[in-house]
């Protein structure tokens, strides 16, 4: 099976983790171990922000960012429904209400035209999700946010290395949250990061990730144990150094798909608007004029040929039982149509050019 994603771990990562084990410093109070501190320094330099705060998962990063922004009871947070559930979970856990809006059907990211319609006197933040490795329309989103005094928290879990008009994902909003889960463009096994230029947010997240402490055994706020272990940070350092190479291979693979599949009229290929740099977490195709049954049948045919095709996301968040029962039924037609038609292909750097061409030939046989 050609995997949709897999971690690429080499000797550099193995040696880095072994060095931590030999040092016997596996974690450090406050999350300030030497590997964590250096990983944060390297990541902030890469993204171009003043601060990068390491945490133990991307979900923790989202929760800590929301708490640092003061999101809580009676607040509303605008976000897309066409994404993984983590951001909505974290909004709900603060006591706030996620307000789901529709997407741009070409990019699959949140539609800025829908944001202003959803704003109320309770709206406090927007979470644009950079889906599949493409950034949301951040200039329009930030203009709306500034006009209404809203906080913008980028969900960049799938967008390591993506760019919007020359600025990297992670530097486009007030804060941004990354995941280093094992399938991501770079990994620490599990792990997360919040990037920001705001010193108050950075100080709050340092406290939140360590039980709300400012000094040892002196908690000034509600916090959690969201510290990143030293082994994870040690793994992340060589992964970050390899990220440009990983991205170059992803872009090569995506370029082959875009070139070789362009004549298949039944398929809508991904769009990369002018001024955007896609990081190609996955290569997502839409099967036009299809329902979910037809799409699922096509995915089964692809998988039968040993290609790990997946559907992200067949169930948008507003369809999930908890969110429907808690917040009521809503209609998001562009999101719902996409959920019935999209499927994703492997584009990760471990897939050779020869294997990408094999995938191309399989799709041509199925869809010609």
Q: Which sequence positions are flagged as catalytic?
A: 184
- Prior bond to 201 cis, omega within 30? no
- d(CA 31, CA 207) in angstroms, rounded, equals 10
Smallest CA-to-CA distance from 52 within 212, 236, 189, 276 is with: 236
Smallest CA-to-CA distance from 311 within 292, 332, 330, 290 is with: 292
Which neighbouring-strand residues pair with 311?
none
- Under 8 Å between Cβ of 223 and 43: no
- Under 8 Å between Cβ of 181 and 36: no
Angle among Cα 137, 140, 105 to the nearest 5 degrees reads 40
- d(CA 317, CA 182) in angstroms, rounded, equals 23
- Under 8 Å between Cβ of 195 and 41: no
């Amino acid at each position: 099976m050609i995997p949709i994603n897999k971690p690429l771990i080499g000797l550099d990562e193995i040696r880095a983790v072994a060095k931590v084990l030999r040092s016997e410093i596996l974690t450090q109070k406050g999350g300030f171990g030497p590997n964590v501190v250096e990983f944060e320094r390297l990541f902030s330099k890469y993204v171009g922000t003043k601060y990068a705060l390491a945490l133990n998962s991307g979900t923790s990063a989202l929760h800590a960012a929301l708490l640092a922004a003061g999101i809580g009871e009676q607040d509303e947070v605008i976000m897309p429904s066409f994404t993984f559930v983590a951001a909505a979970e974290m909004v709900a856990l603060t006591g706030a209400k996620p307000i789901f809006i529709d997407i741009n059907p070409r990019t699959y990211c949140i539609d800025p035209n829908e944001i202003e319609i959803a704003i109320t006197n309770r709206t406090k933040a927007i979470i644009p999700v950079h889906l599949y490795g493409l950034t949301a329309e951040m200039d329009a989103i930030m203009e709306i946010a500034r006009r209404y005094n809203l906080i913008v928290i980028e969900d960049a879990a799938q967008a390591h290395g993506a760019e919007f008009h020359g600025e990297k994902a992670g530097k486009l909003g007030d804060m941004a949250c990354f995941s280093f889960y094992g399938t991501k463009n770079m990994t620490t096994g599990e792990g997360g990061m919040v990037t920001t230029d705001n010193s108050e947010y950075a100080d709050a997240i340092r406290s939140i990730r360590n039980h709300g402490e400012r000094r040892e055994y002196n908690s000034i706020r509600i916090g959690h144990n969201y510290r990143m272990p030293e082994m994870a940070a040690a793994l992340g350092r060589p992964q970050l150094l390899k990220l440009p190479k990983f991205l170059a291979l992803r872009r090569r693979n995506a370029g082959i798909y875009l070139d070789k599949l362009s004549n298949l009229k039944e398929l809508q290929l991904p769009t990369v608007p002018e001024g955007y740099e896609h990081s190609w977490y996955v290569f997502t195709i839409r099967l036009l004029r299809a329902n979910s049954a037809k799409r699922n049948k096509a995915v089964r045919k692809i998988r039968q040929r040993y290609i790990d095709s997946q559907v992200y996301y067949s169930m948008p968040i507003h369809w999930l039982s908890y969110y429907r029962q808690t917040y009521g039924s809503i209609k998001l037609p562009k999101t719902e149509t996409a959920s019935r038609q999209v499927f994703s292909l492997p584009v990760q750097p471990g897939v050779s050019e020869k294997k990408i061409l094999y995938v191309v030939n399989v799709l041509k046989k199925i869809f010609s």
